[in-house]
Amino acid sequence: MDPAITFIINQKFSRFAVPFFLITAGYFYGVKFLSSADLTGWFKKRMKALIRIYLLWTFLYSLPYLDLWVSVLMQGQFLRWLQMVLIAPPQVHMWYLPAFIMATLWIYLVHSYFPMARKRLLIISMILLLMGILGDGYYHLTNQLWPINWILTIFGNTRNGIFFAIPYVSLGYLVSFVSLETLAQKKRWLWGGFFISVILVIFEGSLIDTLDIFYDANLLFSHLPLTIFILLLCLVYPNFMKGSKVSYQAPYTFGVYLNHMIVIVILYIFPINVLRSNVFFEIIYPFLILRLSLNWSKAMYLSDSKWMNMWVKL
């Protein structure tokens, strides 16, 4: 497979997905917070569910790495052990859940105790996000600068709750206070901003690839406007895809995030690397993973067994 094509697929376009999930979650948190009659009760229930799912899947994914968990703890590397629990678990995609739990707690506390501090929340979010971007997308330019070096020494990377999840969830929460009537009058501007953002993502992705300065390309400056404009367009076109087959898959998508790495491992039983050398298969490969993961998640979600439900239901 041409590395350039792989980079376009994996780095330029697909990497906006996690920021979009986070900013969308922040928006719906804001809507929920403003309408909930028992916010504290709802929050406790949500946190218990998130922590339960995190512990279940972390245990499952940690089975091949038990010797690593034990050795790190026995050697007294407590900071490293905490990093593995909260920031960078051996199964890398599981970083998202502790990050999201952290952001959920953060935005609940902000809404409950500092409801009018929106400007300060915006400033804090932008500062944290800036640190996150400099420590990831521009890593090789900034990793020796303070405070980036200090942050990386403590956290290992900036793809975590503090510098990734909290900023995007906070920004989504702030969007929930924007008038939908006002947005509806600015559709042209929103579409213009969206297309410019797409161009910026392509440009920035190409730039950091050419200069070879990124750590993992999870955090880019251009992801911010792109995710915001996509969210705003979704809000001004609320009926888009409504009632479609895609919309009915929404309850099962969380399970896709949780189980897709197991699907990928299972696929490696087959000569997957040989198949991926074909451009056509490389294009359909993500959709194959999605379909298999979605079917598995749906089966667990709809199962009559509560034990199966508890792995994927919030």
Q: Are 229 and 193 in contact (CB under 8 A)?
A: yes
pLDDT value for 48: 97
Q: Cα–Cα distances in Å, from 212 out to 198, 203, 205, 217?
A: 21, 14, 10, 10
pLDDT value for 2: 54
Q: Where are the domains of the chain?
A: 3-240, 241-314
Query: How far is residue 25's CA from residue 175's CA, in Å, rounded to a whole number?
Result: 11
Question: C-alpha angle with apex 106: 123 to 232, nearest 5 degrees?
Answer: 60
Each residue of 274-295: pLDDT tens digit? 676 777 777 788 888 999 999 9
pLDDT value for 76: 80
pLDDT value for 84: 82
Q: Cα–Cα distances in Å, from 143 out to 128, 147, 153, 206, 211?
A: 16, 9, 10, 20, 15
pLDDT value for 42: 95
Three-state SS annotation for 96-115: HHHHHHHHHHHHHHHHHHCC
Placement of tokens 């199964």 in the chain: 91
Extract the residue ranges of the chain whose pLDDT is less than 70: 1-13, 274, 276
